[in-house]
Amino acid sequence: MRILLSAALVAAGVLVGAAFPAVSDLVRGLLASAGLPPTLFTPAAGPGHTEGDGHDHGKHAAKGESSHGGHDQSEAEGEEDHVRMTAEQIENQEIRVAKAEGGTLYRHILVPGTVAPDADRIARVPARVVGTVSEMRKRLGDDVAKGEVVAVLDSREVADAKSEYLTASVKAELEKINFERQQKLLASQSASEAAFQSARAVFLEARLRVDLARQKLSALGLDAAEVAAAQKRDEATPNTSTLRQYELRAPMAGRIVERKVDVGTAVGKEGDPPDLYGVADLSTVWIELAVPTVELARVREGARVTVTPTREGRERHAEGRVVFVSPLLNAETRSARVVVALPNKDMAWRPGTYVTAEVEIARDAVPVRVPKQALQTIEGKRVVFVRTEEGFEKREVALGRSDDDAFEVVSGLKPGEELAVANSFLLKAELGKSEAGHSH
């Protein structure tokens, strides 16, 4: 029985000793009455250890560790915003540095559009007389110069007009000779006044008929002097006649974009094709935009517009200007027509192509402008990396307005300070490594 009681006390003592390093005197007494030495549960003391200072020593140790740890933490706080880097390392990692400067922010809106021919650079070659097509000298896609002959008609109407003019010219010439002869006879008193006046009246009538015939030619687009010259050439070559020929000329320089008739087609009468060719100068094209009402107030004539293809060839782009903003709204779409003039020297922009237009709506001058590549986000804050003698310093900044390429810096950065403007993400990564090392 004594043995069992001793074992129980030993077990209890072990548990109490494990929970409380310093055992109370009461427990020690109970252990002694059980025949067990009190020192069994006294913690072993190292050299120089006294029973009364064990707890104090622990306090001092903890305090010492805390003090030492606080010193390391202070150093970490001083280094956590800096990335040490030599000039050679900066160059090897292609971290580009530039000065913070003022600049201009260009704000835009994106609007879908369609390429169309410039309405001011489209012309048609009309059939101005009744006749039949005898020659078509241009094919679809051919280039033409202004005034170049593109087709020839065979026309009785033209033949009649030319004949009338030529006949009136010959008769007027004869009546002129008779009038001048009567004038000389009257001066020599060899002719009567009545004969002179009669000759004069006939001559004036003949000259009037010539003027009327010349006006008819002009209405048909013919030149009287050319008609007379052609008649003399025809007299020299009896087998050739240009009396019925009517040449159609290009009204402007450009490219044949439509060919509406073939050789032998009758033209000029009601129900016949009204024109033979369509000519367009595509060196400039229009971009037709439908701008929503909410954006319309910000679009101005003269604004710069960057145009890119909607599908293939997106790397290609060109810059044009807004030339027209319609004051009228489309009742169905609630949008207004906006026209952009776009240079097309290489003929790469084809009418009918769908494009995306980036329309400039504002220009804002700002004192400090930084490219978007210079900005990084760390712990939810926007920062830049400012160049220092030892490397870079992380700097929190407040941002204002922006465009597609840059931000306005409201505070945190002054003009003239150097900062990383390319590959700044490498500095963010280096900063993260440094913080991880200090945390460890």
List, in sequence order, the alpha helices (H) in 113-261: 156-187, 193-219, 224-236
DSSP 326-367: EEEE-TTT-EEEEEEEEE-TT--S-TT-EEEEEEEEEEEEEE
Indicate whether 360 and 285 sit together in one domain.
yes
Inside any domain, residue 383: yes
**Which CATH number is 332's domain given?**
2.40.30.170
pLDDT digits (tens, 9 = 90+) for 375-385: 999 989 999 99
Q: How far apart are CA 107 and CA 229, in angstroms?
A: 64
Indicate whether 335 and 396 sit together in one domain.
no
Inside any domain, residue 145: no
CA 144 vs CA 125, 148, 252: distances in Å: 12, 7, 8
Indicate whether 382 and 352 sit together in one domain.
no
Inside any domain, residue 339: yes
Q: How many residues does the chain have?
A: 440
Inside any domain, residue 63: no
Task: Mention every residue, 6+ apart, whose C-beta is less than 8 A from residue 139.
Answer: 256, 259
Indicate whether 353 and 330 sit together in one domain.
yes
- Compute φ and ψ for 382, nearest 5 degrees: -85, 130
Q: pTM to 2 decimals?
A: 0.57
Domain boundary among 364, 393, 428: 364
Inside any domain, residue 418: yes
Low-confidence spans in the chain with pLDDT less than 70: 1-79, 312-315, 434-440
Number of domains in the chain: 4
Indicate whether 299 and 316 sit together in one domain.
yes
Indicate whether 320 and 375 sit together in one domain.
no
Q: How far apart are CA 197 and CA 255, in angstroms?
A: 58
pLDDT digits (tens, 9 = 90+) for 134-185: 999 999 999 999 999 999 999 999 999 999 999 999 999 999 998 888 888 8
Lookup: tokens for 315? 């790397």
pLDDT mean across residues, the chain? 81
Indicate whether 328 and 344 sit together in one domain.
yes
Lookup: tokens for 42? 């006294």
pLDDT the model gives residue 311 = 73
Burial per residue of 29-58, b for 16 or more beta-carbon CB atoms within 10 angstroms, e otherwise: eebeeeebeeeebeeeeeeeeeeeeeeeee
Indicate whether 187 and 213 sit together in one domain.
yes
> Residue 165 sits in which domain range?
156-243
Indicate whether 336 and 290 sit together in one domain.
yes
Inside any domain, residue 94: yes
Inside any domain, residue 138: no
**Which CATH number is 401's domain given?**
2.40.420.20
Inside any domain, residue 149: no
Q: How far apart are CA 384 and CA 378, in angstroms?
A: 10
Indicate whether 297 and 345 sit together in one domain.
yes
| First-residue to last-residue Cα distance in the chain | 57
Domain boundary among 223, 243, 263: 243
Q: For the CA atoms of 286, 290, 296, 298, what is the dihedral angle to 10 degrees?
A: -50
Helix (H) or strand (E) holding 71: helix 54-79
